[in-house]
Amino acid sequence: MLFLSAVFLGVQGVLALIFLDWMTRLRLGEDSPAKHGISNQQSSRLGGLAVAMLVLCFFLLEITNEQSGVERDLLVYGFNGLALVAVILCALMGLTEDLKPDFLSPRARLGLKFLVFGAVGYLWPELIPTELGVAPFDFLLSLPVLGWLLLTIFLVGFINAMNMADGANGLVAGIVFCALFIFYGQTGRVIDASLVSAFGVFLIFNVIKGRLFLGDMGTYGAGCAVALYSLVGFNLGSFSLMFLAALFAYPCIDFLVSIGRRLLQGRSPFSPDNDHLHNRIYFQLAKRLGSGVLANSLTGLLISGSTSGLVLLGYSQQWWPISSNEWGVVFVVQIAAYLVAFIIFGRGRGLSQYSEAI
């Protein structure tokens, strides 16, 4: 971990790694090994808080070294304070759950998310896409009230999808890192460089150590940030719908499949369980490797690498322009691969493996 962090960020990376290790030793935000059905050791849910603090530190260091950084971030590429407020509110909502589980009921959290994003959509109407290229949706989005409602539902669903996928080491962190790396490649902003650095160090620590999860604060905050970032980029014509679909394929596909599966079973669509694709892959790997941490990390890296990582590879190799809908080919392949893997890796699992998370 020290070697990789030093290569990635030098002395700053080493110090950040030491800080993350210290966070795991705090007796706060402890996560039950049985919660995700994929971890076999006591861990911390304060990864989101740790990443937020690292982002702030890296940002302050960058603008100290480059005085024009703040001006470029705020003026050249534009800034909307509502985005920052929304990210902070979502992160704080998640932090309460990390520090005190069930402090807010699932219904209360869902209501607060709708309230936050409903306000964002109302105060920031330019965020509502005007043209998806799908006639029925374009018509609905052109209607102010329906457009606002669809935007709100999408944002709430997206951060829930990110939260639901947070189970394997390096899974959500890997997806977010790939997305932020691409965003930074497009903007060159100081804040984006700080986000990439923070998530990069966290990804190294999360995969190797396996004792620090992003938690609700991390998944809510990061989910909100990349969702708003994607919408702005899409509306500016920087990203195509298919590029973004491929980039965030796993959380979105897994979320929809999980909702459908639970409805078919006669259960609440938002009830927790341990039957996600990452649970199935972990079960099979753990049987063969004999190491829970190794199986956990391989699961996360395999999924994030073959979905968002594949898009990052295509972006770096310039397969197609990121504004092209040809990325739909990758998205279709990802859907097919998910369904095949879901069936294959589900073989041999006992009924106890499908029980609800504790």
Contacts for 278 with CB less than 8 Å, ≥ 6 apart: 38, 165, 167, 168, 171, 254, 299, 300, 303
- pLDDT confidence bin for 29, thresholds 50/70/90: low
pLDDT (average), residues 261-282: 82
Residue 36 reports pLDDT greater than 60 = no
Residue 197 reports pLDDT greater than 60 = yes
Residue 358 reports pLDDT greater than 80 = no
Q: What are phi and psi of 212, to 5 degrees?
A: -140, 115
Residue 200 reports pLDDT greater than 70 = yes
Residue 162 reports pLDDT greater than 90 = yes
pLDDT (average), residues 320-348: 91
Dig out the tokens for 177 from the structure.
């890192």
- CA distances (Å), origin 226, targets 48, 175, 180, 232: 14, 10, 8, 10
Residue 8 reports pLDDT greater than 80 = no
Residue 284 reports pLDDT greater than 50 = yes
Residue 46 reports pLDDT greater than 90 = no
pLDDT (average), residues 51-75: 69
- pLDDT confidence bin for 274, thresholds 50/70/90: confident
Q: Are the C-beta atoms of residues 214 and 47 closer than 8 Å to each other?
A: yes
Lookup result for tokens 């504790």: 358
Q: Could you tell me which residue, 178 or 42, shows the higher pLDDT? A: 178
pLDDT at 38: 55
Residue 75 reports pLDDT greater than 60 = no
At 60, the amino acid letter reads: L
pLDDT (average), residues 261-276: 80
What's the half-sphere exposure (Cβ side, CA atoms, 13 Å) at 310? 20
Dig out the tokens for 209 from the structure.
């150590």
pLDDT (average), residues 172-189: 92
Share of the chain above pLDDT 70, in %: 87
At 131, the amino acid letter reads: E
- pLDDT confidence bin for 275, thresholds 50/70/90: confident
Give me the sign of the Cα torsion angle 235, 303, 274, 354: positive
Q: Which has the closest alpha carbon to 93: 106, 69, 74, 112?
A: 112
- The neighbour count for residue 42, using CB atoms within 10 Å, is 11
Residue 247 reports pLDDT greater than 90 = yes
pLDDT at 347: 72
pLDDT at 104: 81
Residue 12 reports pLDDT greater than 80 = yes
Give me the sign of the Cα torsion angle 262, 267, 271, 274: negative
The Cα 231–Cα 52 span in angstroms is 22
pLDDT at 98: 86
Dig out the tokens for 221 from the structure.
């905050």
pLDDT at 174: 95
Q: Max CA-CA distance within the chain? A: 59
pLDDT at 354: 42
The Cα 176–Cα 248 span in angstroms is 9
Determine whether 102 is exposed, middle or buried from the number of CB atoms within 10 Å of its CB (0-12, 13-18, 19+). Answer: exposed
The Cα 16–Cα 22 span in angstroms is 10
Quick one: which H or E segment has residue 44? Answer: strand 43-44
What's the half-sphere exposure (Cβ side, CA atoms, 13 Å) at 141? 20
Average pLDDT score over the chain: 83
Within its chain, how far is the Cα of 121 from the centroid? 21
Share of the chain above pLDDT 90, in %: 41
Give me the sign of the Cα torsion angle 238, 243, 247, 249: positive
- pLDDT confidence bin for 303, thresholds 50/70/90: very high
